[in-house]
């Protein structure tokens, strides 16, 4: 029908035009290929070319636009519309598309491809031929029927051809296809129509394509961005949130975003997703780590192989599990190797300094694979018998600390004196507390020495003058040894820089001179023993008197005070009187220490070798270095040397050797001493380190006692010690003997020659054995009862009927006391053994040695009671000596009291209290010397006047000691 209205001359021309279109399409296809990305972003709503059936658009008036079929270059039919009413004026030919549903689109692209005939090439059309057409659209929510009302259309543009063609062009086969694109929008209705208004041109509308643009779904940075319709404006960017692909997560504070441009391009990626722990990125997805690999964090890029001593059997692991016995500390990242607790510290050695113990060790051989090894110390205090250990408690100080030690040493302070401790040193690292395997530690067991004294108490200002202050105080509750002096520290209270001065005193009083009048001073006092200084007592503030004060202290002459003083003195004398009595009574009440280990006689063993190995440690001879010979024993030489046991500090030792060519009996007797000594563990009993029985020479290794035997040591240092020091030695021997007697061991040969002295003047009982002890003793002689006996040291019942008991040891102890107080004098001097036995039988006893305090001589006499039940027990002896040490004034020797008598034996009925030469001496002995003037003023000028009461006379007799027994 359209062909009917076309000019015959124009028809072929338009057909040819279609052929040209075919050529053009071919070229266009080439463009599509290179513009794939571009086209891929388009969503086509209408493509006339794609439709092969009739388009059936509305054309009005009917003789206007005409639908014509053609073929493209592939001979595919295409549908086109043509119009060419160029001859008639006032053309108004409309062509309207079918309704186009716009979907999500807001901005619609309309691409027109058309050819347009050049009016100049058409003869006779001037004034009527046009070279443009108009493009319109109408928005509706649905189809509106096939009627066409011009006024409902909105004009989009007038479309002119860039290229028009003439008849002649056809021969040249030049491309005259025009492509024009227009954009409409934003659209708000569901759909629209496009309309083409021809006003008298010769046009072939080859194709109409309507589309909008989209950003197509994409995975970028492990995030998926969905299909996104572009914005309504040319310049708008639509922001789109990405969703992480599976097993990926958003990077912290950096969620993935992209922007969809109006051109359908994704622009400006922001943020990203990353593969979760246990997964790694492969292309646009996250894949699990393989077995034996892990990825601990999403931040890591790659999976890593399991670190040392760890494994995993699953894919997608964020960490690897530790092998058995290996651990990972809470702070360990999964990337580090699994580790284990360290082995025990090595070569633990100790050093005891009174009540402090220092430990030193080497790092463990195996640190467990870590470099955070520290050390901790576990302290336990152990009882001797039964052997039980309890934690040390909070009173023990650790320096620098108890745990978390970085260095390989520690010092424990404030331990109890003479107590057994066990210290375990454990190396720990970051995984020690996770391990359930057995703890590995190095341990030492230690016996502490003497403690420093406790604080002095009851500090009293006795006399305050303008320039001096006299103080007195009580001895510490726990002297823990012999107090040799006190230190009084003082300073002016108001002095800024607090310069201290010190004064020392051997007694429990002191006068501090050269003070300033009317000045406040602060005093502190502490005691000193062999173990060192104790802690200071609390501060005491005293102000000296004013200078101008010249008046006499009236109260000093107050008769009431004098009477009180005399009464106190009388009481003290009375105490002296009762003292001996009470002691006598108390001795009878002695109780054996319960729960003490019992001594086992090695002779009860069928095989003496078994006894040795039960009680003595077998030492490796390579640990012993013999240095020099120091003495001769019955079985061979005694040498000094060094012992270095694994894990212990090298110590000095005495080594008793068994001479070559010994008989089996000699060997047994020699080792018997070790079997006995090995059962003892006390600070005042010489300590056995061990024996060497599996090599030659056979050896007994004993702690080294630097000062050798006590008798020769005292002879060498005649008169050089204070009474307190001597009593300290005696106290040690008594403590050792108390321990032995509590164990049920009877020494039988207690004598100063069998006591050893170390460098700290600590005395230790030594020389143990059975029959051989006495055989070995040069002092032992054969008695009428048979057997060798050291007569001068032995109790009468032991001499007479070999009744050796702890009570006979007490007798010997009394002789040792005498030996000590007389600096190694031979008991009974040059009397014969027979004379000694006789004299003792007759009741005579050794007199007090020179400068011997009466109390001590009294104790000796008590030890020499004929009735052994009346003798004190060692426990009581220790108690009495402790009291004396705590009250050193009771040890003050009245001058001339104990002068060695010309006669070998002393008739002790003579009271020696009267040997005080004056009241002053006597008061000094009883710590009342400050009242000397008061006594004189009160008429007590002579000793007689003071001691004239019968009670006092008795007191002097008892104090002086025994009489003939």
Alpha-carbon gap, residue 60 to 198, rounded angstroms = 10
Backbone φ and ψ of 647, nearest 5°? 80, 0
| Total number of residues shown for the chain | 965
Q: Is 554 annotated as a binding residue?
A: no
How near is the Cβ of 763 to ligand AMP at its closest, in Å? 12
Backbone φ and ψ of 768, nearest 5°? -110, 150
- Which region among 48-56, 389-397, 505-513, 703-711 touches ligand AMP (by CB under 6 A)? 703-711
Closer to ligand AMP by Cβ: residue 400 or 631: 631
CB atoms within 10 A of CB 145: 7
Give SS3 for 579. Answer: helix
Q: Which residue among 186, 325, 397, 631 contacts ligand AMP (CB under 6 A)? A: 631
- Which region among 234-242, 440-448, 701-709, 802-810 touches ligand AMP (by CB under 6 A)? 701-709
- Which region among 161-169, 306-314, 601-609, 626-634 touches ligand AMP (by CB under 6 A)? 626-634
In the window 96-115, what residues touch ligand AMP (CB under 6 A)? none
In 3D space, the residue among 805, 820, 801, 917 whose CA is nearest the CA of residue 871 turns out to be 805
How near is the Cβ of 706 to ligand AMP at its closest, in Å? 7
Alpha-carbon gap, residue 335 to 332, rounded angstroms = 8
Q: Which residue among 10, 160, 352, 630 contacts ligand AMP (CB under 6 A)? A: 630
Q: Taking CB under 6 A as the rule, does residue 767 contact ligand AMP?
A: yes
Q: Taking CB under 6 A as the rule, does residue 95 contact ligand AMP?
A: no
- Which region among 198-206, 574-582, 629-637, 744-752 touches ligand AMP (by CB under 6 A)? 629-637
Q: Which residue among 65, 212, 279, 704 contacts ligand AMP (CB under 6 A)? A: 704
Closer to ligand AMP by Cβ: residue 530 or 777: 777
Closer to ligand AMP by Cβ: residue 251 or 689: 689
C-beta separation of 738 from 892 below 8 A = no
Q: Which residue among 686, 692, 840, 955 contacts ligand AMP (CB under 6 A)? A: 686
How near is the Cβ of 657 to ligand AMP at its closest, in Å? 10
Closer to ligand AMP by Cβ: residue 100 or 729: 729
Q: Which residue among 354, 675, 709, 897 contacts ligand AMP (CB under 6 A)? A: 709
Across 705-721, b (16+ Cβ under 10 Å) vs e yields bebbbbbebbeeeeeeb
Known catalytic residue at 749: yes
How near is the Cβ of 819 to ligand AMP at its closest, in Å? 15
- List all residues 6 or more positions away from 816 whose beta carbon is below 8 Å from its beta carbon: 710, 730, 733, 750, 751, 752, 755, 793
Alpha-carbon gap, residue 736 to 705, rounded angstroms = 15
Give SS3 for 668. Answer: helix
- Which region among 56-64, 95-103, 281-289, 705-713 touches ligand AMP (by CB under 6 A)? 705-713
Residue 880 burial by Cβ neighbours in a 10 Å radius (0-12, 13-18, 19+): buried
Q: Specify the residue for token string 């051809």.
A: 161
How near is the Cβ of 783 to ligand AMP at its closest, in Å? 22
Full DSSP string of 313-326 = -SSS-SS-EEPTT-
Closer to ligand AMP by Cβ: residue 264 or 708: 708
Q: Taking CB under 6 A as the rule, does residue 654 contact ligand AMP?
A: yes
Alpha-carbon gap, residue 806 to 816, rounded angstroms = 15
Q: Is 449 annotated as a binding residue?
A: no
Q: Is 656 annotated as a binding residue?
A: yes
Q: Which residue among 125, 210, 229, 705 contacts ligand AMP (CB under 6 A)? A: 705
How near is the Cβ of 794 to ligand AMP at its closest, in Å? 18
Alpha-carbon gap, residue 409 to 348, rounded angstroms = 9
Q: Taking CB under 6 A as the rule, does residue 638 contact ligand AMP?
A: yes
Closer to ligand AMP by Cβ: residue 153 or 704: 704
Q: Is 676 annotated as a binding residue?
A: no
- List all residues 6 or more positions away from 224 whose beta carbon is below 8 Å from its beta carbon: 217, 218, 242, 243, 244, 245
From 118, 169, 711, 749, the catalytic residue: 749
Q: Which two three-digit tokens encode residue 268?
A: 């400006």
How near is the Cβ of 651 to ligand AMP at its closest, in Å? 11
How near is the Cβ of 640 to ligand AMP at its closest, in Å? 7
Alpha-carbon gap, residue 523 to 503, rounded angstroms = 10
- Which region among 40-48, 111-119, 183-191, 625-633 touches ligand AMP (by CB under 6 A)? 625-633
Q: Is 633 annotated as a binding residue?
A: yes
Q: What distances in angstroms separate CA 435 from CA 322, 338, 428, 685, one per listed residue? A: 12, 12, 11, 43
Q: What distances in angstroms separate CA 49 from CA 76, 366, 479, one per listed residue? A: 10, 84, 121
Q: Which two three-digit tokens encode residue 220?
A: 């970028």
Q: Count residues near ligand AMP (CB under 6 A).
A: 14
Residue 467 burial by Cβ neighbours in a 10 Å radius (0-12, 13-18, 19+): middle
Q: Which residue among 369, 532, 570, 633 contacts ligand AMP (CB under 6 A)? A: 633
Continuous segment of H or E residues that includes residue 710: helix 710-716
Q: Which residue among 691, 702, 798, 962 contacts ligand AMP (CB under 6 A)? A: 702
Closer to ligand AMP by Cβ: residue 96 or 772: 772
Alpha-carbon gap, residue 43 to 48, rounded angstroms = 14
Q: Which two three-digit tokens encode residue 429?
A: 């690292």
Backbone φ and ψ of 365, nearest 5°? -65, -35
- Which region among 304-312, 543-551, 700-708, 788-796 touches ligand AMP (by CB under 6 A)? 700-708
How near is the Cβ of 694 to ligand AMP at its closest, in Å? 22
Contacts 24+ apart (CB under 8 A), 545-550: 545/464, 545/465, 545/466, 545/517, 545/518, 546/466, 546/517, 546/518, 547/466, 547/517, 547/518, 549/466
How near is the Cβ of 564 to ligand AMP at its closest, in Å? 55
Closer to ligand AMP by Cβ: residue 279 or 704: 704
Continuous segment of H or E residues that includes residue 605: none
In 3D space, the residue among 678, 742, 677, 687 whose CA is nearest the CA of residue 385 turns out to be 742
Q: Is 634 annotated as a binding residue?
A: yes
Closer to ligand AMP by Cβ: residue 686 or 740: 686
Q: Is 618 annotated as a binding residue?
A: no
Q: Is 636 annotated as a binding residue?
A: yes
Q: Output the furthest CA–CA distance in the chain (Å, rounded).
A: 184
C-beta separation of 428 from 440 below 8 A = no
In the window 210-249, what residues touch ligand AMP (CB under 6 A)? none
- List all residues 6 or more positions away from 289 whose beta carbon is below 8 Å from its beta carbon: 278, 279, 280, 295, 303, 315, 316, 317
- Which region among 257-265, 572-580, 631-639, 878-886 touches ligand AMP (by CB under 6 A)? 631-639
Q: What distances in angstroms separate CA 445 from CA 64, 299, 355, 480, 648, one per listed residue? A: 123, 54, 14, 22, 11
In the window 806-825, what residues touch ligand AMP (CB under 6 A)? none
How near is the Cβ of 725 to ligand AMP at its closest, in Å? 20
Alpha-carbon gap, residue 946 to 952, rounded angstroms = 8
Q: Which residue among 70, 264, 641, 708 contacts ligand AMP (CB under 6 A)? A: 708
How near is the Cβ of 689 to ligand AMP at its closest, in Å? 10
Residues in binding site for ATP: 630-638, 656
Catalytic residues: 749
Residues in touch with ligand AMP (CB under 6 A): 630-631, 633, 638, 654, 656, 686, 702, 704-705, 708-709, 756, 767
Residues in binding site: 630-638, 656
């Amino acid at each position: 029908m359209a062909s009917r209205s076309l000019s015959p001359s124009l028809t072929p021309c338009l057909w040819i035009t279609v052929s040209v279109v075919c050529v053009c399409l071919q070229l266009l296809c080439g463009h599509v290929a290179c513009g794939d990305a571009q086209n891929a972003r388009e969503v086509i709503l209408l493509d006339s070319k794609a439709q092969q059936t009739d388009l059936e658009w509305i054309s009005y008036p009917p003789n206007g636009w005409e639908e014509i079929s053609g073929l493209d270059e592939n001979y595919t039919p295409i549908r086109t519309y043509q119009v060419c009413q160029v001859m008639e004026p006032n053309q108004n030919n409309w062509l309207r598309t079918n309704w186009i549903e716009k979907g999500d689109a807001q901005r619609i692209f309309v691409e027109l491809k058309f050819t347009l005939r050049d009016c100049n090439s058409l003869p006779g059309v001037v004034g009527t031929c046009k070279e443009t057409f108009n493009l319109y659209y109408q928005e509706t929510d649905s189809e509106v029927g096939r009627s066409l009302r011009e006024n409902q259309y909105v004009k989009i543009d007038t479309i002119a051809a860039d290229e028009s063609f003439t008849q002649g062009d056809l021969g040249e086969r030049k491309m005259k296809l025009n492509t024009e694109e227009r954009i409409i929008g934003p659209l708000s209705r569901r759909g629209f129509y496009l309309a083409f208004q021809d006003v008298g041109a010769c046009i072939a509308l080859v194709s109409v394509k309507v589309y909008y643009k989209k950003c197509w779904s994409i995975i970028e940075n492990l995030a998926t961005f969905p299909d996104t319709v572009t914005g309504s404006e040319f310049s708008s960017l639509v922001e789109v949130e990405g969703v992480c692909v599976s097993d990926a997560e958003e990077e912290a504070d950096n969620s993935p975003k992209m922007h969809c441009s109006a051109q359908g391009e994704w622009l400006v990626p922001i943020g990203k997703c990353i593969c979760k722990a246990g997964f790694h990125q492969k292309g646009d997805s996250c894949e699990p780590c393989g077995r034996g690999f892990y990825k601990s964090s999403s931040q890591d890029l790659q999976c890593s192989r399991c670190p040392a001593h760890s494994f995993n059997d699953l894919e997608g692991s964020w960490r690897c599990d530790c092998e058995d016995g290996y651990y990972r500390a809470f702070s360990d990242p999964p990337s580090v190797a699994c580790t284990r607790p360290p082995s025990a510290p090595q070569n633990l050695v100790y050093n005891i300094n009174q009540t402090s113990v220092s430990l030193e060790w080497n790092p463990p051989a195996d640190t467990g694979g870590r470099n955070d090894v520290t050390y901790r110390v576990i302290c336990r205090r152990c009882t001797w018998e039964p052997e039980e250990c309890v934690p040390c408690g909070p009173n023990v100080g650790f320096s620098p600390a108890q745990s978390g030690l970085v260095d390989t040493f520690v010092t424990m302070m404030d331990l109890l004196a003479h107590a057994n401790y066990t210290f375990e040193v454990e190396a720990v690292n970051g995984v020690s507390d996770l391990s359930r395997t057995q703890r590995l530690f190095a341990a030492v067991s230690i016996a502490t020495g003497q403690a420093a004294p406790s604080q002095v108490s009851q500090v009293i200002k006795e006399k305050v003058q303008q320039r001096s202050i006299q103080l007195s105080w009580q001895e510490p509750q726990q002297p823990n040894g012999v107090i040799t002096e006190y230190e009084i520290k003082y300073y002016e209270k108001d002095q800024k820089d607090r310069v201290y001065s010190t004064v020392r005193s051997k007694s429990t009083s002191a006068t501090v001179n050269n003070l300033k009048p009317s000045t406040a001073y602060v005093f502190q006092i502490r005691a000193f023993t062999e173990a060192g200084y104790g802690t200071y007592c609390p501060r005491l503030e005293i102000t000296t008197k004013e200078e101008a004060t010249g008046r006499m202290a009236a109260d000093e002459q107050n008769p009431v005070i004098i009477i009180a003083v005399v009464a106190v003195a009388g009481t003290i004398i009375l105490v002296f009187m009762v003292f001996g009595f009470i002691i006598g009574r108390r001795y009878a009440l002695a109780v054996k220490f319960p729960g003490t280990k019992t001594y086992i006689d090695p002779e009860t063993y069928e095989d003496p070798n078994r006894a040795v190995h039960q009680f003595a440690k077998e030492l490796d001879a390579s640990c012993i270095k013999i240095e020099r010979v120091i003495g001769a024993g019955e079985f061979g030489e005694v040498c000094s040397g060094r012992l270095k046991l694994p894990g212990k500090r090298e110590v000095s030792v005495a080594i008793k050797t068994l001479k070559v060519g010994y008989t089996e009996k000699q060997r047994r007797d020699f080792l018997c001493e070790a079997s006995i000594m090995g059962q003892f563990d006390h600070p005042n009993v010489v300590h056995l380190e061990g024996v060497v029985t599996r090599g030659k020479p056979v050896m007994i290794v004993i702690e080294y006692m630097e000062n050798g035997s006590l008798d020769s040591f005292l002879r060498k240092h005649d008169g050089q010690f204070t009474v307190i020091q001597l009593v300290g030695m005696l106290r040690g021997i008594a403590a050792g003997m108390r321990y032995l007697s509590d164990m049920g061991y009877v020494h039988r040969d207690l004598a100063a020659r069998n006591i050893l002295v170390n460098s700290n003047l600590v005395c230790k009982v030594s020389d143990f054995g059975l029959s051989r002890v006495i055989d070995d003793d040069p002092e032992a002689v054969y008695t009428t009862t048979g057997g060798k006996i050291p007569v001068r040291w032995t109790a009468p019942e032991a001499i007479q009927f070999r009744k050796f008991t702890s009570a006979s040891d007490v007798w010997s102890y009394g002789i040792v006391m005498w030996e000590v107080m007389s600096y190694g004098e031979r008991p009974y001097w040059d009397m014969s053994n027979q004379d000694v036995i006789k004299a003792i039988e007759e009741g005579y006893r050794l007199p007090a040695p020179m400068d011997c305090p009466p109390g001590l001589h009294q104790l000796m006499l008590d030890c020499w009671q004929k009735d052994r039940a009346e003798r004190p027990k060692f426990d009581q002896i220790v108690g009495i000596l402790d009291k004396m040490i705590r009250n050193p004034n009771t040890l003050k020797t009245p001058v001339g009291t104990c002068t060695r008598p010309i006669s070998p034996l002393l008739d002790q009925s003579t009271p020696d209290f009267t040997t005080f030469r004056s009241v002053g001496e006597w008061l000094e002995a009883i710590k009342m010397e400050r009242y000397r003037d008061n006594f004189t003023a009160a008429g007590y000028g002579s000793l007689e006047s003071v001691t004239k009461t019968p009670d006092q006379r008795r007191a002097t007799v008892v104090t002086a000691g025994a009489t003939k027994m």
